[in-house]
Amino acid sequence: MDRRRPAGRRQAPLALPGDRRLLRRDRAVRRQRSGDAARRIREVPQVVRTDRLTPDERNSVSFETPPRPRWLLRVSLALGTVLALALGVVVVVGLVQRCDTGVWHAGDEGECVGVTDGSFPFSSELADVEDKIRQENERVAQEPEVVTVAVLMPMTAEPGASLSIEQINDYLRGAYIAQLSANAGGPGLKFRLALANEGRDEHASEQVTDELLKMVDEPENLVAVTGLGLSSPETEKGARKLSAAGIPMVGYLSADRFNSTSEESGPPIKGLTRVSPSLHQELEAVAEHLGDPAATAILVHDESRNDYYTADLQKNFEDTFSEIVTRTGSMSAPYGGGSDAFGLDTQFGTIASRLCSADAPRTVLYAGRSNLLPKFMEQISNRGCIRDRPITVVTGSESTDLPKNENASAAVLYASVSDPTALRDQRNLHRDLYLRFTGEMERRFGGNVRESNWTVMGHDATYAAVTAAKNSVSGVRTVPTPGGVHDNLFLLNHPTNLVSGASGRFMLDGDSGDRIGDIPVLRRDKTGHVEVLDLGGLDD
């Protein structure tokens, strides 16, 4: 089956469904004023199906096309509001206000959600990177072969959220650098980035995903979705919708169930790949470096069942460290996390006090979000007992970006493919890829730009998608389809056909879509210094 779209003539301006309604209304007004409706109708270019032509006819097809107007992705999300009153029910539909041209308020707090090309900043902190993406989108708009890759995730955040605005900004910066790299050079396939904001806690995930589904055909030519937000039920629902529509995905997701073969939450999500290792892969790597084989541990876990990351992290601790957990007995310490967490200092203080007795565990298996880990570490430091006993906290790769604390009373052990310390290590044979990436980051965003695992993953997820897209039309002047990109994502499973990312050269499993390869293991000591215990194959 031919998985490619013919390039044909230059495409019409991009417009989301809401914009099309506005365009139709505006055109009607103009026709009425002019009295000459026929003159106002734009001629729709005929698509040339090169796959149905003879070889001689195919060679005669011209890819010279007229200039294309500026690409404009606009938000067209209008959410209805239902007001339930004590004396009756009043249904108010369509109570929306514009944030800006084509951008709409949604949700209880009226935040702006939907899809943009960077013309509208969803948060003031994102204004710079969004504008850079907009400029690059406009620069390639006149190219004959252009497709769209969407970044789907929350792009607004409250203080203390699991996904901070700083992390979102880092991710978009990495995606932008990947876009620049993909668009460099002469003629060939070029890429636009569409920024799809699901809103805080992904409350508009379903509606925003629906908007992306409408962008598959011309003129948008959406071929892949990256990011995908958090390991949550909302992300799963959105991924299933995209999968059903045949749109491939490249996520930064660690929960074990987020791949193309897992049946833990239902049928497999076909077409889902990821550039981050699974939690199972991470903890398998960490287990080899725990140290004392006779260690005991306390399992600290978030009770929220709506967070697949913490739930899968807890399950993996119980499986991978089963001997330690069994030896310890009933040393389980649940706490109430999540967006509405209350009294965390008190909860963490109570848990930390269990580390005081002479026979208390010296290892903490932390199955929680990294944004709450500093609070827990602070309570370990403040516990009212002898604090010279070494404590090690084992957790997932989210802890890569923990703030430095020179007065901590515990070390942190974790595995990560995107930790800057490991990637900058002189023994890293792929170090040149990371230095090239950070050099471009500094050139585009200034010398003090933050290095984080989110910038690395934002780059690598985007670059995996564009690599598959380019491979699907290799040597042919045409644009790919989502099906072609899907097939070529799962062919990135061989040393001769892989992804050259900021985190190194890596492959994707041809069945599950999981990242293939070893994982560096690191230890952050009590002073905040990070030591690489094992480069995980980067030095082989």
- Burial classification of residue 299, based on how many CB atoms lie within 10 Å of its CB (0-12 exposed, 13-18 middle, 19 or more buried): buried
- Are 110 and 137 a contacting pair, CB within 8 Å? no
pLDDT digits (tens, 9 = 90+) for 34-65: 333 333 323 333 333 333 334 443 333 332 33
pLDDT digits (tens, 9 = 90+) for 8-21: 444 444 444 444 44
| Cα–Cα distance measured from residue 509 to residue 472, given in angstroms and rounded to the nearest whole number | 18
Q: What is the pLDDT of residue 57?
A: 38
Confidence band (pLDDT; 50, 70, 90) for 159?
confident
pLDDT exceeds cutoff 70 at 111: yes
User: 145 CB contacts (<8 Å, ≥6 apart)?
Assistant: 7, 188, 189, 190, 473, 477, 478, 479
pLDDT exceeds cutoff 50 at 361: yes
Between 276-285, 338-347, 495-504, the lowest mean confidence (pLDDT) is in 338-347
350 beta partners = none
Distances (CA, A) of 105 to 149, 152, 197, 271, 322: 24, 18, 12, 31, 48
User: 332 CB contacts (<8 Å, ≥6 apart)?
Assistant: 298, 299, 301
- Are 286 and 394 a contacting pair, CB within 8 Å? yes
Q: What is the pTM of this model?
A: 0.82
Between 80-89, 249-258, 393-402, the lowest mean confidence (pLDDT) is in 80-89
Q: In order of start, what are the domains of the chain with their CATH numbers? A: 96-276+433-503 (3.40.50.2300), 280-416 (3.40.50)
Average pLDDT value for residue range 134-146? 95
pLDDT digits (tens, 9 = 90+) for 170-210: 999 999 999 999 999 888 999 999 999 999 889 899 999 99
Write phi, then psi, for 289 (nearest 5 degrees).
-120, 15
Task: Starting at the earlier edge strand, list the strands of the sheet with 504-508.
Answer: 499-501, 504-508, 515-516
- Are 296 and 328 a contacting pair, CB within 8 Å? yes
Q: What is the pLDDT of residue 171?
A: 97
pLDDT exceeds cutoff 70 at 219: yes
105 beta partners = 112
Q: What is the pLDDT of residue 256?
A: 92
Closest Cα partner for 155 from 207, 203, 192? 203
Average pLDDT value for residue range 354-371? 88
pLDDT exceeds cutoff 80 at 490: yes
| Mean pLDDT, the chain, whole residue set | 81
pLDDT exceeds cutoff 50 at 211: yes
pLDDT exceeds cutoff 80 at 151: yes
pLDDT exceeds cutoff 90 at 431: yes
- Strand, helix or coil at 136? helix
Write phi, then psi, for 422 (nearest 5 degrees).
-70, -40
